[in-house]
Chain A
Amino acid sequence: MAAIRCAQLGLSVAAVEDDRPGGVCLNWGCIPTKALLRNAEVLHLVERAADFGISVGEVRADYAAAVKRSRGVADRMAKGVEFLFRKNKITLVPGRGMLETPTTVLVGAHTIEARAVILATGSEPKSLPGVAIDEQVVISSNGAVRQEHRPASLIVIGAGAVGVEFADVYRAYGTEVTILEALPRLVPIEDEEVSTQLARTFGRRGITIKTGVKVSAITRGGSGAVVETDAGRFEAEQVLMAVGRSAKVKDVGLEALGIAMERGFVRVSPRMETSVKGVYAIGDMAGAPLLAHKAMAEGVVAAEAIAGRDPRPVDYGNVPSCTYCRPQIASIGVSEAKARENGREITVGKFPFTASGKAVALGETEGFVKVVADTATGEILGVHILGPEATEIIHEFVVGRTLEATLEEMIHTIHAHPTLSEAAFEAMLAALGQAIHI
């Protein structure tokens, strides 16, 4: 994104990459996992075919085929990026780049000189202290997304987005899944009601959930791995380490140039410039949230700053968060609890998908839309959606917040019928005490 935007702005651009272009998102994260989750969803639908009056024979799901399809999707997207690079005359330099000076990057034996450098090395999965990720028994999302083998049993450590998405995929294909989370609930950064209802749904689907659990050791043994915790021992064929990601800041040349860091990430200005003039940093290495869409927005800011434009800084208070388990989770702004903690007088409107005509017709009625707004002004403080296509529905709220629309303007927006987005509309009406269909 940064490279293409730079090229569009008339700069001469070289991109240094030791993998295929597209980063973690395209090659290891967002895109291939969405392909796997789609497989899980299709499988789920086929298994439910009888609900729709469709009889199918014996259902055989080939997990290796799902991974192959996922790789195919990732490969196609990477080719797309390579095409865009060619189209924009961006020179793709294979290899690892290392900052030598603020204007020179060393790639192997070659030196590339540039007026400005954008660092976008990304992040890598973290592990627990003393636990090595071997991608055999203890795997990370990197291993999980590529292994064609599906374990018979899996312990997922960490119930953030990565943890619950893989739990969803593997469970759909029949793996015995246990989720261990140190915090008291699933998806701990989301609104509490979302966590509660997701736990109920996952529980019904046979996923074992242990929250508030502290892992003390992981050893080889039993069917594969043994996880010792303060709540007992857990055994499984594989352990998926999903406790978070850390910025890739080693061997980039940051220390030598004295580029300032902050809590393990590169410190950047609102123009995405590091403490060293002319050196910019974007994406996961530049701090939370570690989301591809935040990285893309930062890439545009950095590109425009370098091209001498005056970019609007990224609005970090308005970055949507999306998790693609079933039902999907999407949110923007603060949780209800956080809004109360902030001392705002709030009004909360909630609308369940069971009352949405479209959701009932789809047969996807789990979840709700919850809107947290300021009582006095109608400002949308936070929105939390659990349910079908939650990740698509959220955007009207993101746009609304960007424009500083209040509930008043939002409810005077006609929402097409029948759509899932009507649930968003009704939740806003509910916040004003005017809901119609509940």
Chain B
Amino acid sequence: MAVSKVVMPKLSEAMETGKIIKWLKKEGDRIEGGDILAEVETDKADVEMEAFGAGVLRKIFVPAGETAPVGSLIGVIAEPNEDIAGLLAGAPAAVAAPAAPGPESRRPEPVASVVPAATGGGRVKASPLAKKIAAQSGVDLRVIQGSGPGGRIVRRDVEAAAAGPVWSAPAAATAPGSEYEDVPLSQMRAIIAKRMPLSKAPVPHFYVASDVAMDRAWDLREALNALEGQPKISVNDLVVRACALALLAHPGVNASFQGEAIRVFHVAHIGIAVALEEGLITPVLRDCHAKSLTQIAVEARDLAERARARKLRASELSGATFSISNLGMFDVAAFSAIINPPEGAILAVGSVRKVPVVDGDAVTVGRRMALTISCDHRVMDGAMGARFLQDVKRLLEAPLRLLV
């Protein structure tokens, strides 16, 4: 049996470091692949970290409460007779609050230099000094705007961030009678603030909107929910199912811009935006194209609940091929959403509203729902987005097809 290195996993797109909340296994415990080793806190959620190798957890390098960069060695799984001396010697230290600076602690810490190398696409351009000061002052380099050449983060940027309100204690300073207060950014808000312009500015969005007659879907949903022992189906579940089927028929929408190619997906992993107190998270419901409406309903509910409890697993936080944002519960007529790169499109779903409908020569009451799709123009064109939306509309208007 081989020696398995346990490294800090990349649990979300933006993740660069993770904090070990607690180890669920201790040194000496026997591990099977898939066992939950530890709970890790990321910028988005607390997630469980699974073991990839089998053997004995021989060594834990990063104790609970400490932070390690993505990709850094945090433990070793091996059989008891396996020689792991080489790994023990090269083990990095955690980026913890610095110990009392004695001569020993001045040694170069490999950890700091691991950060950019190990994060691939999410590389942070920062000077070595900026990285060290950031590590020591607990500043997250991902949320800093660099002022050096090419946006490189330099010392003054980190110092400004360390002194700035973003990272101060969350007590908002408000003078009595003041007309405003500065509420410090939560970690999640800060990430959203940094990432959204990275979508809106470089991704050329276009929007296609359509009104869907939801009368039959509404009736179907009521009928299904009246059935004994059936899980409750939401309007959004119907939308997810409709999108999954339509995405398979329109792979051009289920696609991602990759610089020199367009990656077209043959599966529909759908991100479902969930509003939280401190921001927004988009857990991913995988393989929606292969799931029944009931399965989608059960799993989407579970995801949303665990998102609110910050109990999502790593695999549930990334890898969407398409996203849906539904503000229907807020009595929203229509809105448009910002694409979450590298996805190629996102569907914004409004409320199901009762509206007057012209039926022949009479005016009757009908249920209508606005759908707006935001598309990456680098990946697709208007007609492609429109045809997809048309198909989603057709599916929702003839909803029995969602059941088969």
Contact = CB atoms under 8 A, between A and B. Distances in A.
Contacts of B101: 345, 375-376
A404 B125 CA distance: 12
Contact of B155 (A376, A404, A412, A433): A404
B106 A409 contact: no
A407 B108 CA distance: 8
Interface string A209-231: 00000000000000000000000
Contacts of A403: 127-128
B128 A409 contact: yes
A376 B127 contact: no
Contacts of B154: 404
Given A312-B149, A405-B127, A347 B106 contact: yes
A432 interface: yes
A377 B108 CA distance: 9
A406 B103 contact: no
Contact of A404 (B106, B108, B109, B130): B130
A377 B130 CA distance: 9
Interface in A397-413: 403-409, 411-412
Nearest to B127: A404
Contacts of B186: none
A408 B108 contact: yes
A405 B106 contact: no
A18 to B, nearest CB: 38
CB-based closest 3 A-B pairs: A404-B127, A408-B108, A404-B129
Interface string A289-314: 00000000000000000000000100
Given A375-B106, A376-B101, A433-B106, A406 B149 contact: no
A352 interface: no
Contact of B129 (A312, A375, A377, A412): A377
Given A312-B149, A345-B101, A379 B106 contact: no
A377 B132 contact: yes
A344 to B, nearest CB: 12
A409 B108 CA distance: 9
Given A375-B101, A432-B107, A433-B106, A406 B136 contact: no
A409 B98 CA distance: 19
Contacts of A379: 129, 132, 155
B133 interface: yes
Contact of A433 (B98, B103, B113): B103
A409 B109 CA distance: 11
Contacts of B109: 408
Interface in B100-155: 101, 103, 106-109, 112-113, 127-130, 132-133, 136, 149, 154-155
A378 B103 CA distance: 12
A433 B103 CA distance: 7
Contacts of A345: 101
A378 B132 contact: yes
Interface string A422-434: 0000000000110
Interface string A227-239: 0000000000000
Nearest to B148: A404
B108 A376 contact: no
